[in-house]
Amino acid sequence: MTDAQTLEPVCILGAGNMGTAIIRGLIGARTLPAEKIFASDADEAKLSSLKRDYSIGTTNDNLELVRACPIVILCVKPQTIRKVLAEIAPAITEKHLVISIAAGVTIETLESSLGSAPRVIRTMPNTPAVALAAVTAVAKGSKATLSDLGMACRLFESIGRVVEVDESLIDAVTGLSGSGPAYVLLAIEALADGGVRMGLPRPTALLLAAQTVFGTAKMVLESGEHPAKLRDAVTSPGGTTIAGLCALEAHAVRSGFIEAVKAATTRSIELGQLAARSAQTGNVKP
pLDDT in tens, 21-42: 999 999 999 999 999 999 999 8
Side chain identity at residue 180, one-letter code: G
pLDDT in tens, 227-256: 999 999 999 999 999 999 999 999 999 999
Average pLDDT rounded to a whole number, residues 42-48? 92
Domains of the chain: 4-168 (3.40.50.720), 179-251 (1.10.3730.10)
Q: DSSP string of 206-246? A: HHHHHHHHHHHHHHHHHH---HHHHHHHT--TTSHHHHHHH
Beta-bridge mates of residue 121: 99, 140
Beta-bridge mates of residue 123: 138
Beta-bridge mates of residue 37: 10
3-class secondary-structure state, position 54: helix
pLDDT at residue 117 above 80? no
pLDDT at residue 284 above 60? no
175: DSSP letter: I
Sheet holding 10-13, edge to edge: 57-59, 37-40, 10-13, 71-74, 97-100, 119-124, 134-140, 160-164
Distance of alpha carbon 50 from alpha carbon 57, whole angstroms: 9
Q: Which residues are CB-contacts of 22 (< 8 A; sequence separation ≥ 6)?
A: 12, 73, 75, 125, 129, 155, 156, 158, 159
pTM to 2 decimal places: 0.88
pLDDT in tens, 76-96: 988 888 899 999 999 999 899
Q: What is the pLDDT of residue 285?
A: 40
Burial class (CB in 10 A: 0-12, 13-18, 19+), 39: buried
Q: Which residues are CB-contacts of 241 (< 8 A; sequence separation ≥ 6)?
A: 234, 235
Reported as half-sphere exposure (CB side, CA atoms, 13 A), residue 213 has a value of 16
Q: Of the candidates 7, 12, 6, which has an alpha carbon nearest to the alpha carbon of residue 98?
A: 12
Distance of alpha carbon 140 from alpha carbon 261, whole angstroms: 23
3-class secondary-structure state, position 97: strand
